[in-house]
Amino acid sequence: MELAPTLKSQTIQNRMREVGINPNYWYPVAWADELQPGKIIPVVIWQQAVAVYRDQNLQLHALEDACPHKGVALHEGKVQDDHLVCRYHGWKFNGDGHCVHIPYLPKEQKLPCAQAVSYPVQEKYNIVWVFPGDKELAEDTPLPDVPEYDHPDWLAILIPDNFQGHFSICNENTMDVFHGFLHQNLQGWFDPVLLNLRQNQNSVKVEYRVSYQGWITKFLGLSEQGNQVTTRTICIKYDYPHYQSCLDGVSSIYLIRLPVGMTETKSFSLLFLKVGLPKWILKQIKPQLSQMIWRFLFKKFLDQDVEMVESEQRTYLANPGRRYVEINPAIIALQRLIVGQYEDFMQQSRKLLNHNHRKGEQSSVVTRGISSELTSENP
């Protein structure tokens, strides 16, 4: 659906800052090269604690971070072959979460039926992805497509980040190109104009025209001389729950977000730049160059964004009933999409809960989470 790109005051959704996620998508939890064989890491995906480990055969596994025996955090245990051993009594679990060994159980006795919830997990683009929702949907749910990742023309820069803010605030920051004002001292973009806006059930796609001047235009290869004004189009696509933002074939960034909880969001983002260096030189200095560009250039932009996001969050917490004014229709569209995704998921979950209830079946971890959200009357 095409929407008018007109800037005018609109009512914003006050409950945005407490809306939950639709867990039926792949979420990033770690950089894959940091998860060595035998290592277990604790991660949190929207308030669900998960222990992710890589076994000695390099396979990844993700189990609920709670031992089915007494609830001790499984990430404190150790990996033995392809099993995870709980630190407390040494019960051993396979990658599906089944208990396969209890060290003090007499051999002739049958193992109890104890199973930790397991999650679909995979690695791609040097990111470990976990699917916290309905397992049956995992296989048919695609990861973001990142064609630049293996392409020799692009320099990849991995960007980790952590915001003390609700994921909707972080996502609005990305959609909101009008905040170039914030980055003036870094010679960011200026004179933004919203050109067009499209929205459907899963995505919001926006184009802005922006201008650049100064050293950054030279660095990005936008102009020969830094003193010229260069006008370009930025295309931003929010494909729930992740982003892609491109600047006319010059740069491309994938903002891959992990909503941790009501006031915390992590990012595992991939920035790609076209750098005007011969390929053989680029190949040799890629890691060092990526680090330098990240530390001395883009981190400065991101630090300013984090300050704004966290300031918004603090003010919200101090007074959740305060009203705000928004004039960018792209932000309104984004809010509508985030709320819509959550509501769709809640609706499906309610149906599933009722269905299971009638059949007397046990709920999955997701629907258990939903039933507690329903009873606490979150939006």
Interface ranges with Fe ion (CB under 5 A): 305
Q: Smaller CB distance to Fe ion: residue 128 or 220?
A: 220
> Could you tell me the two tokens for 182?
């914030």
Q: Which does 12 bind (CB under 5 to 8 A by kind): ligand FES, Fe ion, none?
A: none
- The interface with ligand FES within residues 327-346 (CB under 6 A) comprises none
Task: Please state the closest distance from residue 44 (CB atom) to ligand FES, in A.
Answer: 20
CA distance 361 to 366: 14
Given Fe ion, ligand FES, none, residue 305, with its beta carbon under 5 to 8 Å by kind, binds: Fe ion
Q: Minimum distance between the CB of residue 271 and Fe ion, rounded to whole angstroms? A: 13
Q: Which of residues 40-79 bind ligand FES (CB under 6 A)?
A: 67, 69-70, 72
91 binds, among ligand FES, Fe ion, none (CB under 5 to 8 A by kind): ligand FES
Is residue 193 within the footprint of ligand FES (CB under 6 A)?
Answer: no
* Contacts to ligand FES from residues 205-224, by CB under 6 A: none
User: Which of ligand FES, Fe ion, none binds 69 (CB below 5-8 Å, type-dependent)?
Assistant: ligand FES
Radius of gyration of the chain (CA): 23
CB of 217 to ligand FES, least distance (A): 58
Count of residues in contact with ligand FES, rule CB under 6 A: 8
Q: Which stretch binds ligand FES (CB under 6 A): 81-89, 238-246, 298-306, 352-360?
A: 81-89
For the chain, give the number of residues: 379
Contact assessment for residue 215 and residue 226, using Cβ atoms and an 8 Å cutoff: yes
Q: Which does 89 bind (CB under 5 to 8 A by kind): Fe ion, ligand FES, none?
A: ligand FES
Q: What distance lies between CA 125 and its chain's CA centroid?
A: 14
- What CA–CA distances, in Å, run from 226 to 186, 187, 247? 13, 11, 17
Q: Is residue 190 a contact point for ligand FES (CB under 6 A)?
A: no
Query: Contacting ligand FES (CB under 6 A), which of 27, 91, 167, 272?
Result: 91
Token pair 């050293």 in the structure block, residue: 215
Q: Which residues bind ligand FES (CB under 6 A)?
A: 67, 69-70, 72, 86, 88-89, 91
